Structure 1
Amino acid sequence: MKVRFIANPTAGGVNRVGELTESIRRVLGAEAGFFEVKVTTEKGGAGTFAREAVLEGYDVVVACGGDGTINEVATALVGTSVALAIVPLGSGNGLALSLGIPLEIDGAVAKLKEPHRRLKMDVGKVCGRHFFSTAGFGFDALLAKKYNEGSLSARVRGILPYIPIAIKEFYRYSPEEVEIVIGNRHIEVTPFILTVANVPRFGGNAIIAPDAKPDDGLLDLVIVPEVGLKKSYQLTNKLMKGQIDSFKGYQCIRAEEIEIRRETSAMVHADGEPFDWQGSIHIRVLRSALNVLI
């Protein structure tokens, strides 16, 4: 088996490449096959290494990092026979947690030597970009933007930087009315959270779509209505306990294709990577488009 590990040295705020390399030697040293480690030095580097691996005939590419690194690597593998494996080194690790992949390096690396299941995973596509966990168009998209811009998040990873950002931006955020089109169905809402999920988790313990499945051929559209300060605490509590579907006004609609229409430009995130978009937003599922070792 020919395997390429692609490691992001800044994932999770700590360089764990040495620990990863030692784990590969220790756990896979006696295994038949070719294993190499590529370390990214710039944004987009993980995707470049993954595309090269496809062209060079690798069997498995292992994304070693957070959800951003995984997105880069997995995007290069969509529609190919090359399988994705994951060593979660990020702060949220939403996809790894949703797929039941161990968070410990040794445990994740050992998946390559154990009898493993190859999941034919669905992939989401929004505005021409792939996403594997979630895409967001409401308050979560704004948080993703501010998190990526923040000086604190550059020094401290995890949920901690989100807390002051969320408190500050909550008072500034003004939800906008949107029209959601699913087939012949038209829904007009003014959502606080508007998220399309392929798996249950944002990251960590934050579960946005408890019943989402990565291989059912459907995406879960989650709508949470506008909330006041008191309700926002209740919402956060339910989100972190996996009970958000019991929050008053919560809606989840499953669909293969979704269109979001709005009057103004939108902030969007795909797996936590934010970008601006002008015009209607089109989201669709690519069925069984990615092979994942779990």
Structure 2
Amino acid sequence: MLIFAGVLLFLPERCMSGPKKKILFIVNPVSGVHHSRKAVLAGLAADTLDPERFEWEIVFSESAEHVKELSRAAAEAGTNIIAAVGGDGTVNQVVKGMHGSNSVLALIPAGSGNGLAHHLGIPSDIGESLALINKMNVKPVDTVSINDDLFVSIAGVGFDALVAKKFARSGRRGFLSYFRIVTNEYNYYRPRKYKLMIDGQLYHREALFVSFANTNQFGYNTIISPSAQIDDGLVDVCIVKKVPLIYAPHVVGLLLTRKIDASDYVEVIKAREVSLTRKKNKVVNLDGEPVKLGKALHVRVNPLSLSMIVP
């Protein structure tokens, strides 16, 4: 509706809405176990998205690096919405490509653990997650830099990183494969010593693993830091001691019931900036994927640096 010379003019909704928003769906064809979901994406997008407001394209990646390249090219071309179709690793690469741009991230969960989607309450049903794009509820969220790399959900060293490396090499996705690796490796893994500088305060700890949580979980609704928020400008440093096997079922129960921070084996410290030094192993778990970064790590929160469609 416009007022011209004192007269009300009613214009069609499409004329008022401006140009259509462009969406690029980047599909990781090998992530997770939900390949059937990806196969129906095109049909569901046509059935769900509003063609008066959006136009879209679906592309399939060939590798993790290709995901990042596709995302970067789309952001540079001014694509309004870049949708990651996959798991946390796919999201990680998409965000690396678009970080610092004006593009908005959408998430269509189709990975194994889908930790970011679970944290934000994004439905696993593809039709329902596509419907969120129509609503365009956009929220600024934090990302976290770690050395010259970046993560969105969670990063970790120690046993956490070992499991990520074994999981990536196994060729099998899904919770059962993940759980099998944890149970096979746990008894033989020796805790490591870490030196941490957390917002200027020095800590020395011996731990099974240390995680940096921007969201509350690893995936599979396994909650490592129940109070973690993705928009508070803080990362939760989760220092986890090795639990004797006799107590392991109790601790697993706490993980699954959002009460792990009540355990004597878990210490959580909220921080804006962290430096960590370790003597062995350069592998880091970055959003579920193993990456070599070096023995010294510098972690820094990038507050509200990513715009994302959420419920």
Query: The TM-score by the shorter chain falls in which range?
Result: over 0.9
- Tell me which amino acid in the other structure corresponds to 1:6: I
Counterpart selection for 2:118 from 90, 97, 103: 97
Counterpart selection for 1:56 from 77, 97, 109: 77
Question: Would you say 1:141 and 2:157 are equivalent positions?
Answer: no
- Tell me which amino acid in the other structure corresponds to 1:38: V
Question: Would you say 1:291 and 2:307 are equivalent positions?
Answer: yes
What RMSD in Å do the two structures reach over aligned CA positions? 1.4
Map residues 242-261 of structure 1 onto 2, 5 A cutoff: 242-261=258-277
Matches of 2:191 and 2:28, distance apart in 1: 35
Matches of 1:250 and 1:42, distance apart in 2: 36
Structure 1, unmatched stretches of 5+, are none
Spell out, residue by residue over 1:121-172, the C-alpha distance to the aligned partner (whole angstroms, 9 max, x if none).
110111211110000012111110111111xxx24x2210122211221122
The residue number in structure 2 matching 1:84 is 105
Which stretch of the first structure deviates more once superposed, 229-238 or 215-224? 229-238
Name the % identity.
Answer: 33
User: Is the Cα–Cα contact under 8 Å of residues 265 and 277 in structure 1 kept in the other structure?
Assistant: no
Which stretch of the first structure deviates more once superposed, 175-184 or 213-222? 175-184
User: Is the Cα–Cα contact under 8 Å of residues 277 and 296 in structure 2 kept in the other structure?
Assistant: yes
Do the aligned partners of residues 172 and 51 (structure 1) sit closer, same or farther apart at CA in structure 2, a change above 3 Å counting? same
- Tell me which amino acid in the other structure corresponds to 1:234: H
Question: Would you say 1:173 and 2:189 are equivalent positions?
Answer: yes
Task: Give the 3-state SS of the residue equivalent to 1:237 in structure 2.
Answer: helix
TM-score by length of 1: 0.94
Matches of 2:286 and 2:80, distance apart in 1: 26
Aligned length: 289
Structure 2, unmatched stretches of 5+, are 1-20
The residue number in structure 2 matching 1:273 is 289
Matches of 1:241 and 1:67, distance apart in 2: 22
User: Is the Cα–Cα contact under 8 Å of residues 197 and 203 in structure 2 kept in the other structure?
Assistant: yes
TM-score by length of 2: 0.89
The residue number in structure 2 matching 1:182 is 198
Which stretch of the first structure deviates more once superposed, 160-169 or 211-220? 160-169
User: Is the Cα–Cα contact under 8 Å of residues 31 and 113 in structure 1 kept in the other structure?
Assistant: no
Which stretch of the first structure deviates more once superposed, 251-260 or 277-286? 277-286
The residue number in structure 1 matching 2:139 is 119
Deviation at 1:183, TM superposition (A): 3.2
Which stretch of the first structure deviates more once superposed, 203-212 or 7-16? 7-16
User: Is the Cα–Cα contact under 8 Å of residues 70 and 97 in structure 2 kept in the other structure?
Assistant: no
